[in-house]
Chains A and B, each alone.
Chain A
Amino acid sequence: MTASTETGHPNVLAKAVREGLFAGVISFFMFLLFVGIETYQDINNALVWRTRWGLLAIFVAVAAVGRFLTVGFIKPHLDQRKLAKAKSGVLEISESKSFFHRHFLKIALIFLVLYPFLSLMIVGKQGSLKYVDNFGIQILIYVMLAWGLNIVVGLAGLLDLGYVAFYAVGAYSYALLSSYFGFSFWLLLPMSGILAALWGVILGFPVLRLRGDYLAIVTLAFGEIIRLVLINWTDVTKGTFGISGIAKASFFGIWSFDTGTANNFVRAWGLSASSVYYKVFLFYIILALCMLTAYVTIQLRRMPIGRAWEALREDEIACRSLGINTVTTKLTAFATGAMFGGFAGAFFATRQGFVSPESFVFLESAVILAIVVLGGMGSLTGIAIAAMVMVGGTEVLREMSFLKVVFGPDFTPELYRMLLFGLAMIIVMLFKPRGFVGSREPTAFLKERRAVSGSFTKEGHG
């Protein structure tokens, strides 16, 4: 770390050239068969191959030049900056945080409350539909699901790969009870939560003697069982056709959002007809549900049961040696997490107006779990940010029509969603292995509240 770190030093440049060439050679062989050769069917339907040396050259050049620049210029520059910082004595963890940093949560909440109005003001009614519904509501549903799963995975350390089952139970509870019995949204919302919690307990009983990988597999199976029941129990669930025409939520029974009713919201307020009002209303419902989830999670963490969940994640045997009934503790974690999944499911059903087993595939469970892991297990802020990046990112991809200019007219960016998802996860896990927010806030303190570094907390073994 002496003179050799300086940019332009012959040693560094020589090393950069060497490593650049090396990277070029490796990438040449790596991409030779993948990129350099393409197979296609000719006019006689015979499979023939042709070479794409130009494209291969681009790949190799990007790798070689990229490596050369990284080793030769970027890394020495970063090292130097670090060295300068260390010399000046300013620690990276400085006590004085910026205004934005200190009041981040308040600013975020105010922004969320104003979000529909801002969008109405800036892009108008028709444009707002996209921003309120596709971005706002979609992201908040995943925030809520991830916060619910966070209780099971992040706090209690039980790896649940079938969380979408509870989401499905909530959605179908609302869809079936509302279309068969005509109950209102506000009655069915708590009922869906309770039914999902009940299923959480039913699932919990047999599987809680399992740990780690085994628990993950069984919960995965449970998620599939629920989905297959929904597909095959056609008398009740109408199978893959799904249930359509699910009742909309009303404004606490005062105003309805169904067109043509006497107490229609739009007519009562003398507004011009648009579905955006209903979307804004839904936005506030899911925002309120998210806030409820966050509030309950924060409160429960300070209760003995919440501490027991975290203790369970850290060491189950020690828990038992302290007289904690681990079975009931795990069951409450499962049931609480499932309840929030159920709430989100009921909301999903009323928002879509249509549910089918298609919406509750394993991929959904995986995405929710990925959000929890990326955000940092146990951290509400981190998870909210992760949900925004993952779900919002998917929506943004749909908007990127300019990519068609680059990659040709056949390119549909949303098909590359999973590829980019994976790439994003690898990058985040490389630089932030504990997720966006890896530290843990203690629930009690004597003198000062200090965050616990992620290196001490455990992930739990089921």
Chain B
Amino acid sequence: MALGTTTMTNDTILKVEHLSMKFGGLMAINDLSLEARRGEITALIGPNGAGKTTVFNCITGFYKPTMGMLTLQRRDGKEFLLERLRDFEIPKLAGVARTFQNIRLFSGLTVLENLLVAQHNALMKASGYTLLGLLGFPTYRRAVDASIEKAKYWLDKADLTDRADDPAGDLPYGAQRRLEIARAMCTNPELLCLDEPAAGLNPRESAALNTLLHQIRDEGVSILLIEHDMSVVMQISDHVVVLEYGQKISDGSPDHVKNDPRVIAAYLGVEDDEVEEVIAIELEGGNH
């Protein structure tokens, strides 16, 4: 891999280079480099405490990385250095949307209102920063209609149309997860970052989630997801990156990762010298 160079082919949407994040004396991420390709589902996996959510928080601007460069390339060729943007500018300018491990909905607003809040920046502009909107300009009226149409579209995709007028806090857990994804999609992102979207879902809800994610990918939106559930990862992702102790230990297709001895060791918890052994055996086997 040609890491360290700034050239980006058009099929790379996100490039993380030499990312490090320190919390006091703790090195949460240590010199991590990875790439996410456009139109693919990239999964970030690893044992608990491997630094997956920290990577997410760096990408979405909630943390400022200690070191490293995060380059995002939009479809029109514009490049953004995410570590230099403020947190709210990342969704606004760079087109990166995210969901949270512990769902963060506006629980007192209705489902529809949640989706309208997500279109804040577009509506703000259309309402002439509130002034034209207060005067009832037709451009604003049209923008409102368009925003409701878009909300309806995602309500339909997320199978929430029947509950559009209910408070978001009243939805069952699985529906809340889908609503959070629909809300993120209403910001018109090019890269959608999902933090453990399948956590706590029953098998049926999990299957519905897979369908939703595939639909989102088919619309040309790239997805970066953190997941613990290996079956979900193997089923839906095109590309898997494995982290352990803040470092990348494997990177490739799901099949490649599944058979990587370092990954197996990390997940099954083998002693360090045994890992060396396993790798040595593997290499030997390859030589034969």
CA gap between A303 and B144 in the complex, in Å = 10
Do B123 and A304 have beta carbons less than 8 Å apart? yes
Q: Interface 1/0s, chain B 142-173, versus A by CB < 8 A?
A: 00000010001000000001001111111000
- Choose among A311, A324, A452 the residue that contacts B167 (Cβ–Cβ < 8 A): A452
Residues of B within 8 A of A458 (CB): 107-108
Size category, A interface: 35 or more
A383 within 8 A of B: no
Contacting pair A303 B130 (CB below 8 A): yes
Tell yes or no: B117 within 8 A of A by CB: yes
Best-buried of A323, A443, A444 by chain B (most CB within 10 Å): A323
Identify the closest chain B residue to A329 (Cβ): B120
Q: Which residues of the other chain, B, contact A322 by a CB distance below 8 angstroms? A: 91, 97, 117-118, 120, 183-184, 187
Q: How many A-B residue pairs lie within 8 Å, measured between CB atoms?
A: 132
Nearest A residue to B118, CB-CB = A322
A193 to B88, CA, bound (A): 30
Q: Which of B98, B112, B130 contacts A444 (CB 8 A)?
A: B112
- Given known pairs A305-B130, A446-B165, the reply for A323 and B121 (CB within 8 Å) is yes
Q: Is A457 an interface residue (CB 8 A)?
A: yes
Establish whether residues B133 and A318, one from each chain, have CB atoms under 8 Å apart when the complex forms. no
Q: Contact check, A304 vs B104: say whether CB atoms are below 8 A apart.
A: no
- What is the bound-complex CA distance between A246 and B106, given in angstroms? 47
In whole angstroms, what is the CA distance A315 to B60 when docked? 17
Q: Which of A308, A325, A456 has the most CB of B within 10 A?
A: A456
Query: Which residue of chain B has the shortest Cβ distance to A451 in the bound complex?
Result: B167
**Inter-subunit contact A311/B117 (CB<8 Å):** yes
A442 CA to B165 CA, complexed, in Å = 8
Q: Is A55 an interface residue (CB 8 A)?
A: no
The reply to whether B106 and A444 form a contact with Cβ atoms under 8 Å apart is: no
Within 8 A of B (CB), among A408-462: 440, 442-450, 452-453, 456-458
A321 within 8 A of B: yes
**Which single member of B87, B91, B110, B130 contacts A452 (CB below 8 Å)?**
B110
CB distance from A20 to the nearest CB of B (A): 43
CB-defined interface of B90-124 with A at 8 Å, one 1/0 digit per residue?
Answer: 11100001101000111111101100111111011
Tell yes or no: B127 within 8 A of A by CB. Answer: yes
**How far is it, in angstroms, between the C-alpha of A25 and the C-alpha of B95 when the chains are bound?**
69
Residues of B within 8 A of A317 (CB): 62, 100, 104
Q: Which residues of A contact B117 (CB under 8 A)?
A: 307-308, 311, 319, 322, 324
Asked if A307 and B110 make an inter-chain contact with CB atoms under 8 angstroms apart, the answer reads: no
Closest A residue to B131 by CB, please name it: A303
Minimal beta-carbon separation of A339 from chain B (angstroms): 13
A296 to B, closest residue via Cβ: B134
Q: How far is the CB of B119 from chain A (nearest CB, A)?
A: 8
Contacts of A314 in B (CB 8 A): 105-109
Is A299 engaged at the interface, CB distance under 8 Å to the other chain?
A: yes
Q: Which residues of B contact A305 (CB under 8 A)?
A: 124, 127, 129-130
Nearest chain B CB to A433's CB is how many angstroms away? 15
Contact string, B198-209, partner A, CB cutoff 8 A, digits 1/0? 000000000000
Query: How near does chain B come to A345, taking the closest CB pair, in angstroms?
Result: 24
Chain B residues with CB below 8 A from A442, complex form: 109-110, 112-113, 165
The chain B residue with its CB closest to the CB of A322 is: B118
Which residue on chain B has the smallest CB distance to residue A442?
A: B110
Query: Taking CB as reference atom, which chain A residue is nearest B148?
Result: A444
Q: Is the CB of A446 within 8 A of B88?
A: no
Query: In the complex the two chains form, what is the Cα distance from A449 to B164 in whole Å?
Result: 10
The 8 Å CB contact of A323, one of B91, B127, B167, B168, is: B91
Known: A311-B109, A321-B60. 14 other contacts (CB 8 A): A300-B134, A303-B130, A315-B104, A318-B106, A320-B88, A323-B89, A323-B120, A442-B112, A443-B113, A444-B148, A450-B110, A450-B166, A452-B109, A456-B169
Can you spell out 21 A-B residue pairs with CB atoms less than 8 angstroms apart? A300-B134, A307-B116, A308-B120, A315-B104, A317-B100, A318-B104, A319-B117, A322-B91, A322-B183, A323-B187, A442-B109, A444-B116, A445-B164, A447-B165, A448-B165, A450-B110, A452-B110, A452-B167, A456-B107, A456-B169, A457-B108
